[in-house]
Structure 1
Amino acid sequence: MRLLTLTLVSALALSGCKQVDGPSAAGLPQVSVPEMSEATMKDITRTLSSDAFEGRAPGTAGEDKTVALMIEKFKAAGLSPGNPSSSKDGGWTQDVPLVEIAGANFSPLTVSGKNGKTLSFSYGDQFVAGSYREQPRIDIKDSDVVFVGYGINAPEKGWNDYAGVDVKGKTVLILVNDPDFESTGLEGPFGGKAMTYYGRWTYKFEEAARQGAAAALIVHDTVPAAYGWNVVNSSWTGPQFLAQSKDGGASQTEANGWVQKDIAAQIMAAGGQDLEKAMAAAKQKGFKAVPLGLKAGMSFDNTISKKNSRNIVGILKGANRPDEYVLYSAHWDHLGRCTPKDGDEICNGAVDNATGTAALAALAEAFQKGGAPDRSVIFLAVTAEESGLLGSKYYAENPIYPLARTVGGVNMDAFSMTGPAKNLTVIGMGKSQLDDYLNAAAKIEGRTPDREPTPEKGFYYRSDHFSFAKLGVPMVYFEGGDDLVKGGRAAGEAAAKDYEANRYHGPADEFDENWDWSGVMADLRLYYRVGRMLAMTDVWPNWVEGDEFRAIRDKSRAGK
């Protein structure tokens, strides 16, 4: 149940009032939206997604060009350098220490049984793999294979797929998503239809490492994964970026990767198991991991290089409470050079996320036109989102501006080019009191906020707002809606499917001069309204009572 209902009132002046946390606040201020520049959106998106930027992979010439462009645009928008304690790049950036590991010379994945028969699977089209360890050679031999269901260890839910089995030095075969992903509603041990973090591939690999596995292979299945094998292939067959660690990744598995579902079925069959039956069993509480009596092997070389990537940070200082901060975030990076399609090997990332990066500059321009708000506003373009939210994670763990003084924020990731919509899609609706700001803004703009139609895809855990949310900062994340003015929901669903199948994380995500920007600009007005309202009130929104992030926010605010 929502604790705070904030109604829009006319010209409510809150400046000068005592700071209050959510439940005692009475309303939101009106804000007007200045003219917002479609030209800025187009020009920056076009430039960032051009071949000259080489797909904006961290640590490349494409990064250098991106950083230079965004500093230029932030300066022109009237922002100040957001990291004044740094002498690098004039204080406009924050170094993010990364490790690039590029695999090469991949052997087939081999699986052998007691009968001496060996199955062999080819890299790229049947499996992909990489390593989180900083070692030049990965050579996994005669590793016992264990099917561990969904690979979840959740003590608070009484669920442990690793109970009673020792997987140290072994290869684990893991299902993607949560056990209850096929539910029609949101009731179930893992949120029913809505994916939890336990369903994300990042968690699967983290838990396998904690269990001591040598290798972890996720079974790719398009529906629960929420994307096709083409996305896995593009994302995993190039260099991988990781956060630098003190142990050089020694605590991680030697190899992480994915196998096509039909390949997993062959592996299970070789171990005397039926994959479909095993998948059904894994959905039940009390599932027991299944040793398959098989040995797995794979090898590949790694080229390792440590490098600094950069977050780009600009700030508009608040007029009355400059030590309170509202955050706008978007990731500037993409995949760089990836699996070629029709001879094109550059994943340009026009929609994902040159559009969101351009929006930071367009919003900064609009905020400057509107005058300095009461609170300061941070414009943060983060690196390495595509590698696991690494840039936002680094900032959240090493904030330039204290998280306890960060009121909340808005994340932008991939604007829709399908034209204006009657609604908007809210990722994680009902989690925080920021919903009230969004609801008020949407009402003014004549839009209807809707829950995400595909919570099973786990979008809440797939973009940069999550890095801040898990450390307590309330973040709102929404997208252009699926109920289009032209064509309704059928057209919206068809457009989303087309983008996911044909452009998402592939070379075809390129700038199109014929795009309809009217929906983008309508969405941008919403982003402006929400952030501006948050910057013009002295309210401190929180997560709703009982939310997973509420306790850490309460602790953070108490120690402010």
Structure 2
Amino acid sequence: MRILTLAVASALMLSTACKQMDDEAVKASALPEVSVPELSEQTMKDVVKELSLDSYEGRAPGSVGEEKTVAYLIDRFKKAGLEPGNNGSWTQDVPLVEITAKNVSALSIADKSGKAMSFAYGSEFVVGSYRETPKTKIDQSEMIFVGHGIVAPEKGWNDYEGLDVKGKTVVIMVNDPDFDAADLTGDFGGKAMTYYGRWTYKFEEAARQGAAAALIIHDDAPAAYGWNVVNSSWTGTQFLAQSKDAGASQTAANGWIQKDVAKEIFAAAGQDLDKQMAAAKKKGFKAVPLGLTASLSFDNDIARKASKNVVGVLKGAKRPEEYVLYTAHWDHLGRCTAAADGDDICNGAVDNATGTAALVALAEGFKKAGAPDRSVVFLAVTAEESGLLGSKFYAENPVFPLSQTVGGVNMDAFSMAGPAKNLTVIGKGKSQLDDYLNAAAKAEGRTPEMEPTPEKGFYYRSDHFSFAKLGVPMVYFEGGDDLVTGGKEAAKAAAEDYEKNRYHAPGDEYDEAWDWSGVMADLRLYYRVGRMLAMTDAWPNWNDGDEFRAIRDKSRDGK
């Protein structure tokens, strides 16, 4: 035992020393000065225009649009001077399940006397299944309101305490309990959303509890988008990661209901929705059986397919076995809810043909400047719109080991509002990558600022999160909210216009009249941060106390 104790103590000392060395290396290492080569605006225009053509049909995974997208990106990566990133291949297969709900019935809500209300699919509710079954049927399933649907032992919070929801339909609030706080203090980070507030978590927890169905109450502010986004995102084909049990451990049906629909349901149950939602924000909330049953049914078209991540690499000149990562998702929604003019193709020009184009333009820039010390990986991932599935698959099955991945930069939807004085950092203060971004911003005469709407949970809504969960420091920022022309008011108006009229809708199309100056200014920042990471020998980490620090420390032990 004495020998074992000494060995453990020595290992702990070595681990601690390695962590301290990593931290000290970042602090002691002068951040390298980098010059930015000419980055091609024409490349940005060409790639965005091509990927958002109607012939790509909205770039849905598993579609003809995917085939065209992958072929086009491989061609552009080759021309940019990259090498195939996956052991001689340009792609990594990502096994997905494609489920399309057909013949969806109305949602029928009945009381004990048999009196029923009926709600229309699409306009009043949306639904789908995560199970690989040809038909889904929810038949007179008891309904229970479970507040925010959160089980967080570390916070002393359990909305399912004492409940048996097996076979029942749980009704859940979006976001987390202190969403409307004035600051960042509270059990769940105050105004800033935690992962407990994301819809993905709520469906995951409902499945763990054994519920038959889960319905989230849509509310514009805490959801951070309108019903139009829910409608367009949920009424077409859904993509899921393949599972060993074919989804049997998931709820039979997951969906959303309009808030006005929820009010009618609660009124029929003799409950006041607003009062119950207010009560659910307080610790100790007890779930409320509604005394109603839910019924619905639909058929499922099911197909198993391998979608693809596209991987290119520029080998490092001095330390090629250390990797810096650039990520962007190439996919979008495919065909979606039609606009008034009948257009049903969600082209995804801004979201995220712009980020995908940035991969190509940055690859050209890196090649032009010459190979950096570390290798740089350019990763275009699939199925972000379906729950970050492509980045999740890569992170869990990395081509390049995560322990040798220094960190990375994620790019998702460039702003077309024009150049900004500042830049918006999603997750500011989480990692030592802030030092790199601060230096890059200073060189470009811009000011990094914390996101103005942390309650919208953007940190959990793009591909950097897949890597962060497994310890890799990732930086994610956007064009700022203080425009050179028009200031904050103009920036807010542009953001609201995009969210209302184009986000996840057929209106997100290429526009010849776009002002690219802000895009190119942001692209210079992305280049600087990645190039600095690739030219230093430091290993930036998450800051002390951050939720991802421990897993990074573990992966770096002995390195």
**Which category describes the TM-score, using the shorter chain as reference length?**
over 0.9
2:199 counterpart residue number: 201
Instruction: After the TM superposition, list the runs of 4 or more consecutive aligned residues in structure 1 that deviate by more than 6 angstroms.
Output: none
Asked if 1:376 corresponds to 2:375, the answer is yes
Write out per-residue CA displacement over residues 357-389 of structure 1, whole angstroms, 9 at most, x where no aligned residue. 000000000000110000000000000000000
Asked if 1:403 corresponds to 2:406, the answer is no
2:102 counterpart residue number: 104
Write out per-residue CA displacement over residues 392-441 of structure 1, whole angstroms, 9 at most, x where no aligned residue. 00000000000000000000000000000000000000000000000000
Asked if 1:68 corresponds to 2:71, the answer is yes
Amino acid at match of 1:231: V
In 1, the alpha carbon distance for the partners of 2:253 and 2:192 equals 29
Whether the aligned pair in 2 keeps the contact of 1:329 and 1:411 (CA below 8 Å) is yes
Note the C-alpha offset of 1:272. Answer: 1.2
Asked if 1:305 corresponds to 2:308, the answer is no
Write out per-residue CA displacement over residues 62-97 of structure 1, whole angstroms, 9 at most, x where no aligned residue. 001000111011001100000025xxxxx0000000
Note the C-alpha offset of 1:20. Answer: 5.0
In 1, the alpha carbon distance for the partners of 2:391 and 2:317 equals 27
1:264-413 aligned within 5 A: 264-341=262-339, 342-413=341-412
1:80 counterpart residue number: 83
Asked if 1:451 corresponds to 2:438, the answer is no
In 1, the alpha carbon distance for the partners of 2:541 and 2:24 equals 9
In 2, the alpha carbon distance for the partners of 1:22 and 1:172 equals 45
Partner SS state of residue 168, structure 1: coil
Q: 2:223 aligns with which of 218, 222, 225?
A: 225
Alignment gaps of 5+ in structure 2: 1-19
2:157 counterpart residue number: 159
Asked if 1:51 corresponds to 2:54, the answer is yes
Partner SS state of residue 28, structure 1: coil
1:16 counterpart residue number: none
Partner SS state of residue 171, structure 2: strand
Amino acid at match of 2:282: Q
In 2, the alpha carbon distance for the partners of 1:354 and 1:550 equals 32
In 1, the alpha carbon distance for the partners of 2:539 and 2:461 equals 25
1:10 counterpart residue number: none
In 2, the alpha carbon distance for the partners of 1:239 and 1:116 equals 33
1:20-31 aligned within 5 A: 20-25=21-26, 26=28, 27-31=30-34
In 2, the alpha carbon distance for the partners of 1:495 and 1:183 equals 26
Amino acid at match of 2:412: D
Partner SS state of residue 104, structure 2: coil
Asked if 1:472 corresponds to 2:471, the answer is yes
Note the C-alpha offset of 1:559. Answer: 5.1
Whether the aligned pair in 2 keeps the contact of 1:20 and 1:538 (CA below 8 Å) is no
In 2, the alpha carbon distance for the partners of 1:24 and 1:188 equals 34
Note the C-alpha offset of 1:118. Answer: 0.3
1:482 counterpart residue number: 481
TM normalised by structure 1 equals 0.95
1:115 counterpart residue number: 113
1:522 counterpart residue number: 521
Cα-Cα RMSD: 0.8
In 2, the alpha carbon distance for the partners of 1:303 and 1:107 equals 15
In 2, the alpha carbon distance for the partners of 1:22 and 1:486 equals 40
Amino acid at match of 1:306: R
Amino acid at match of 2:429: G
Write out per-residue CA displacement over residues 119-168 of structure 1, whole angstroms, 9 at most, x where no aligned residue. 11010000000000000000110100000000000001000000011111
In 2, the alpha carbon distance for the partners of 1:262 and 1:165 equals 27
Whether the aligned pair in 1 keeps the contact of 2:25 and 2:539 (CA below 8 Å) is no
Write out per-residue CA displacement over residues 209-243 of structure 1, whole angstroms, 9 at most, x where no aligned residue. 00000000000000000000000000000000000
1:13 counterpart residue number: none
2:10 counterpart residue number: none
Asked if 1:136 corresponds to 2:134, the answer is yes
Note the C-alpha offset of 1:24. Answer: 3.3
In 2, the alpha carbon distance for the partners of 1:337 and 1:378 equals 31
In 2, the alpha carbon distance for the partners of 1:24 and 1:500 equals 42
Amino acid at match of 1:284: K
Amino acid at match of 2:55: A
Partner SS state of residue 97, structure 2: strand
Q: 1:32 aligns with which of 26, 30, 35?
A: 35
Amino acid at match of 1:240: Q
Whether the aligned pair in 2 keeps the contact of 1:421 and 1:482 (CA below 8 Å) is yes
1:41 counterpart residue number: 44
Note the C-alpha offset of 1:185. Answer: 0.4
1:6 counterpart residue number: none
Write out per-residue CA displacement over residues 324-352 of structure 1, whole angstroms, 9 at most, x where no aligned residue. 00000000000000000020000000000
In 2, the alpha carbon distance for the partners of 1:55 and 1:76 equals 24
TM normalised by structure 2 equals 0.95
In 2, the alpha carbon distance for the partners of 1:262 and 1:441 equals 47
Amino acid at match of 1:23: E
In 2, the alpha carbon distance for the partners of 1:108 and 1:260 equals 14
Amino acid at match of 2:371: A
In 2, the alpha carbon distance for the partners of 1:24 and 1:398 equals 29
Whether the aligned pair in 2 keeps the contact of 1:164 and 1:288 (CA below 8 Å) is no
Partner SS state of residue 338, structure 2: strand
Alignment gaps of 5+ in structure 1: 1-18, 86-90
In 2, the alpha carbon distance for the partners of 1:502 and 1:24 equals 47
In 1, the alpha carbon distance for the partners of 2:368 and 2:133 equals 52
Partner SS state of residue 337, structure 2: strand
Note the C-alpha offset of 1:21. Answer: 1.1
In 1, the alpha carbon distance for the partners of 2:181 and 2:274 equals 17
Asked if 1:210 corresponds to 2:175, the answer is no
Write out per-residue CA displacement over residues 32-83 of structure 1, whole angstroms, 9 at most, x where no aligned residue. 0000000000000000001010000000010010001110110011000000
1:88 counterpart residue number: none
Note the C-alpha offset of 1:269. Answer: 1.1
Whether the aligned pair in 2 keeps the contact of 1:37 and 1:362 (CA below 8 Å) is yes
Partner SS state of residue 247, structure 1: coil
Note the C-alpha offset of 1:260. Answer: 0.1
Amino acid at match of 1:410: V
Note the C-alpha offset of 1:22. Answer: 2.6
Whether the aligned pair in 1 keeps the contact of 2:382 and 2:391 (CA below 8 Å) is yes
Note the C-alpha offset of 1:184. Answer: 1.1
Q: Identity rate of aligned residues, in percent?
A: 77
Note the C-alpha offset of 1:270. Answer: 1.1
In 2, the alpha carbon distance for the partners of 1:115 and 1:314 equals 63
Whether the aligned pair in 2 keeps the contact of 1:214 and 1:254 (CA below 8 Å) is yes
In 1, the alpha carbon distance for the partners of 2:391 and 2:47 equals 21
1:15 counterpart residue number: none
1:227-266 aligned within 5 A: 227-266=225-264
In 2, the alpha carbon distance for the partners of 1:559 and 1:391 equals 29
In 1, the alpha carbon distance for the partners of 2:558 and 2:505 equals 45
2:189 counterpart residue number: 191
Partner SS state of residue 421, structure 1: coil
